[in-house]
Amino acid sequence: MQSMLKVTSGALTLSLVALMALACVPVDEQVETGPPEINYWEQRKGNCEAILTSPQAYQIPEVTDCMKIWETYRPVGDLSVDMRSMYAVGFSLAWYKAKDDYDRLVAEAALGRLCVPRHPMGEDGKIKEEVPQVLNCSVGSTAERAPQEGEAKAGTVTAPVDTVADTRGTVRVEAANEKRYKKAQSANKKGLKSASNKAYGKAVDSYEEALQIYPFYVTAKYNLVCALAAMGDDEGALQNLEELYTWDDSEVSAKLIKARSDEDLVALRDNQKFKQLTGYFRLTIANGAGDFGLEHIQRISTELTNRRYAIHSMQNDKKPRMHPYIFYKPGFESYAEEFKTILGAPKIELVKIDWDTLDDMIIMWGQQEASQLYGTDGQAAPLVQGTRAEEKGGGLDDMTKALKDTQGSVEGARDAGEGTTEVVPAE
């Protein structure tokens, strides 16, 4: 298979920028999945935050280097329209002034992933920021058109819905005989060696050879996904990941969970299909029952973390809830049903999200006793506002400590943060 360069939404530069390339941890045998929420951007950004927020004060090579690191490691789903517009200044500058055509392609892709048109450059050579009124993620970054009904307004982000059909485990997997399996295993090992040397094109060829020998070789299929993503071929990676999703093999589930934390797949995390296939999505757990709900919130967060789901934040809702809810975006119905089982409450209401929010799913705990704790103005503070469950359990440990410290005292719960949050808009 000929090595290809495909500029798509996310990982673009891994095969050409060797110093910034990170190999997807290739697998030949079962490997325990690591923490699901590792912030690679924070680990590797260096001084890039300062450069990309004030790009016109730096040299173009500094801007383009940081732009490539951004495209490799920085998911953008948490950015508001204003923040996206600000970062687009640097990428616009790179597009106008970079001498390398490849750098301009990367800048174009970065703008496209932000869903922000390229800012104009004035006669003085400075970029003039024009904050867009809408985000348009379905067309190229230079497209300009009138906002259509249902599109996100400034200050909100609504990604196009691209639901994945419920085809998980629908393809019957046939076992290979020992001779064929060993031959496929040999080809897979050749691919691992190539991938370790950042020779992703050769790795892809070897993994495809392994799959020709044994078409349902789960390990080779997953490694193919990783190698394609490392080359910047997001479309090919997602297509093969979706095919793997359909295989009726017990090993597939482990690979889908592993995909949530693989370094080479970081740039796919904003993709709706990737979220639905792997379960890597933005999840908020909210407490609508005050002190009475703390024990339940702790239990839910622990169980979901043990299942390698990444918890984005823990909050207290302003509105008292008399029973639990699971709010979910279209395409996440199966996960909502799974979480309903985990909650184990007698009455749980599943509600589709029909408002603008960055969250893909919100688990809201509620119970009858909540009516004793909240007034209509709501005073309880968020438990651990914005805390993330990150690597080594640090974020989760802090969250759990805060939960334990507030148990048994309504006032303690109110002292744990600065104020309640309207997690779900009032009806």
Segment 330-334 long-range contacts (CB within 8 Å, at least 24 positions apart): 330/161, 330/163, 331/161, 331/162, 331/163, 331/164, 331/272, 331/275, 331/276, 332/275, 332/276, 332/281, 332/360, 332/361, 334/166, 334/168
pLDDT bucket at 136, cuts 50 / 70 / 90: low
pLDDT at residue 215, as a whole number: 92
* Residue in 218, 213, 237, 225 with CA at minimum distance from that of residue 25: 225
pLDDT (tens digit per residue) in 53-89 = 999 999 999 999 999 888 878 888 778 889 999 999 9
Q: Are 340 and 326 in contact (CB under 8 A)?
A: yes
Residues 6+ apart with CB under 8 A from 156: 80, 81, 135, 356, 357
pLDDT at 35 over 80: no
**Which of the listed ranges 22-26, 127-131, 139-143, 189-193 does the model predict with the highest average pLDDT?**
189-193
Give residue for tokens 């469950």.
Answer: 389
pLDDT at 7 over 70: no
pLDDT (tens digit per residue) in 374-426 = 544 444 444 433 333 333 333 344 444 444 444 443 343 343 333 456 677 66
pLDDT at 270 over 70: yes
pLDDT at residue 427, as a whole number: 56
> Model's pTM, two decimal places?
0.54
pLDDT at residue 90, as a whole number: 94
pLDDT at 33 over 70: no
Taking the domains of the chain in order of start, what are their residue ranges? 1-17+35-158, 171-278, 283-415
pLDDT (tens digit per residue) in 233-249 = 888 999 999 999 999 88
Measured in residues, the chain has a length of: 427
Provide CATH code, domain 283-415. 3.30.70.2390
Architecture of domain 171-278 in CATH? Alpha Horseshoe (1.25)
CA–CA separation, 236 and 367 (whole Å)? 46
pLDDT at residue 212, as a whole number: 93
